[in-house]
Amino acid sequence: MNQIYIKKFVFFIMLGLLLTSLTTYSQIPKTISYQGVLTDTSNNPVPDGNYNLTFRLYDVETGGTALWAEGQLVAVDKGIFNVNLGTVNTLNLPFDKPYWLGISVALNPELTPRIKLTSSSYSFRSLKTDSIDGIQAGGDLRGTYPNPSIANNVITSENILDGAIQRVDVANDFKAPYADTADAARTSAPSGSAGGDLTGTYPNPSIANNAVTSAKILDSSITGSDISSTTAMNITSLTTTGSVGIGTSVHRATLTVNDTIDNVFPGVPGIMLGNPAGTTAIWQGKDASNYIEISWINPYFGRVIVGANKPLVLQELGGNVGIGTTTPNEQLEITGNFRLPASTASVGVIKSGGNRFIHNFGTDNFFAGVDAGNLTLGGPGGNTGVGVNSLSSIVTGEANTAHGARSLLSNTNGSNNVAIGYQTLYSNATGNYNTAIGSTALYSNWGSGNTATGYMALYSNTSGYYNTATGGSALFSNTTGNFNT
């Protein structure tokens, strides 16, 4: 079938949309009469016959969602058709705003443009006013029509005609808040001397000095602007169950100060806190030093000092410091864990005096002992050194184990060595796969693959390799020999 269009006759008075005749106001036929012309793409009337037409109503000219729809099988004669919209699906729209009619033929897209309803369609709305009996009143009214009442508390000064309220309109016990028109207000002004809390003479007395007491001031009515900013006030105490804020309305304690506290007390460079005897003090500065101290004033026991270089010093002469305990048994006692970051050249090192003592510098390394390991080594890691200067020269050697003072002291790049005992494998620098158990075993060694068990076993071995010595001083003098047992 050729594409079908609807042609609207502009000379029709209805221009497509008219209401059906209304016989009585009590029974409104909810239908809309519509007449149109179907033409093909050449603007010729379509053949006579029945066509499926779908009608939709929208509240927008384009797009949107249909608010009402129905389909009808419509007879077309010489292109002209007539329909009554609402005979299939009731027209239940309020018709209180503009609507547009959209039409589609069979399964074809909706024709454009949509047709705007004429004003006659909105007589549905106006005909509702033929009777308002029983309708609920709104706005400033209450009750139902036709006899609503004025609602309570809706009459304002603007609703009252000026001068309309008379004496008969008010209750006998009514007291006017302002009596500027009362008879008493028209008498002559008072005269003579004022008394009570007033001073001077009428009609213009003043409040007498010291007449305004605390009882006469409304609680919480004094604001910051009422307080003199230039006159010093001597306040001996502030008694309150709440808190006081200076420079802030957010009080985090009994006294919160949001500014600098300056000390002007002569002879004490700081802020005095403590008991009336003055046995405690907190102050900043001491002579030319930049100290912050918390201490007993005399003598200076229990001090917490921050010096010029910003270290934190806890100074308790002859006492102990406890973290998590009030009864420490040592100079420092903690009840929880002691945590350090991973060791680097500057952090994560426990020291003995000024020397490194315990650290894990590098990868998978652990060192314990004064100057054990170092803080410059590289390589894959996996080294363990326990004892003074053990593995202290390590550079890139890996998987070495040294237990004992100065064990593997000279080792730089040797790997997979085990030294247990005082100065075992002392001179080994690059040898690999050596095992020395016993004081000074393999002391001079720099070969590989040697095993010495016992005091001074293979003591003199230098470049010999794959030797095995068991017992005190075993193979003591071997230097370069190999594969000895």
Confidence of residue 429 (pLDDT cuts 50, 70, 90): very high
Rounded distance between C-alpha atoms, residue 365 and residue 65, angstroms:
74
Across 186-203, average pLDDT? 80
> Do the Cβ atoms of 281 and 274 come closer than 8 Å?
yes
Across 367-380, average pLDDT? 95
Region 5-130: CATH code: 2.60.40
Rounded distance between C-alpha atoms, residue 12 and residue 408, angstroms:
115
Instruction: Name the β-bridge partners of 344.
Output: none
Side by side, the strands of the sheet bearing 312-315 are 270-271, 280-286, 289-296, 303-306, 312-315
Across 65-78, average pLDDT? 94
Confidence of residue 158 (pLDDT cuts 50, 70, 90): confident
Q: What is the pLDDT of the chain when averaged over all its residues?
A: 79
Rounded distance between C-alpha atoms, residue 44 and residue 41, angstroms:
7
Q: In terms of pLDDT, which residue wins out, 469 or 26?
A: 469
Region of poorest pLDDT, from 56-65, 94-103, 352-361: 94-103
Residue 111 pLDDT greater than 70, yes or no: yes
Q: What is the pLDDT of residue 355?
A: 95
Residue 22 pLDDT greater than 50, yes or no: no
Q: What is the pLDDT of residue 229?
A: 66
Confidence of residue 23 (pLDDT cuts 50, 70, 90): very low
Reply yes or no: is the peptide bond before residue 299 cis, omega within 30 of 0.
yes
Q: What is the pLDDT of residue 19?
A: 39
Confidence of residue 49 (pLDDT cuts 50, 70, 90): very high
Q: In terms of pLDDT, which residue wins out, 410 or 147?
A: 410
**Four-CA torsion 367, 368, 371, 372, nearest 10 degrees:** -40
Q: Could you read off the pLDDT of 382-406 as tens digits, one per residue?
A: 999 999 999 999 999 999 999 999 9
CB proximity list for 381: less than 8 A, separation 6 or greater: 362, 363, 364, 365, 398
User: Residue 125 belongs to what H/E stretch?
Assistant: helix 123-126
| Percent with pLDDT over 90 in the chain | 41
> Do the Cβ atoms of 370 and 357 come closer than 8 Å?
yes
Residue intervals of the chain classified under CATH 2.150.10 are 342-485
Q: What is the pLDDT of residue 120?
A: 55
Q: In terms of pLDDT, which residue wins out, 20 or 33?
A: 33
Confidence of residue 129 (pLDDT cuts 50, 70, 90): very low
Q: How many Å separate Cα 217 from the centre of its chain? A: 43
Across 309-333, average pLDDT? 72
Q: What is the pLDDT of residue 29?
A: 58
Across 2-31, average pLDDT? 43
Rounded distance between C-alpha atoms, residue 474 and residue 54, angstroms:
114
* Buried b or exposed e, range 308-344, using 16+ CB within 10 angstroms: eeeeeeeeeeeeeebeeeeebeeeeeeeeeeeeeebe
Reply yes or no: is the peptide bond before residue 113 cis, omega within 30 of 0.
yes
| Percent with pLDDT over 70 in the chain | 72
- Cα three-residue angle 342-344-350, rounded to 5 degrees: 70
Q: In terms of pLDDT, which residue wins out, 203 or 273?
A: 203
**Four-CA torsion 51, 56, 60, 66, nearest 10 degrees:** -130
Region of poorest pLDDT, from 33-42, 172-181, 419-428, 432-441: 172-181
pTM beyond 0.75: the answer is no
Q: What is the pLDDT of residue 225?
A: 75
Residue 372 pLDDT greater than 90, yes or no: yes
Q: Could you read off the pLDDT of 244-271 as tens digits, one per residue?
A: 788 887 877 778 887 766 655 555 555 5
Residue 124 in 3-state DSSP?
Answer: helix
Q: What is the pLDDT of residue 273?
A: 55
Residue 287 pLDDT greater than 50, yes or no: no
Residue 76 pLDDT greater than 70, yes or no: yes
Residue 128 pLDDT greater than 90, yes or no: no
Rounded distance between C-alpha atoms, residue 250 and residue 45, angstroms:
84
> Do the Cβ atoms of 111 and 104 come closer than 8 Å?
yes
Across 367-385, average pLDDT? 95
Q: What is the pLDDT of residue 126?
A: 47
Residue intervals of the chain classified under CATH 2.60.40 are 5-130
Region 342-485: CATH code: 2.150.10
Q: What is the pLDDT of residue 181?
A: 55
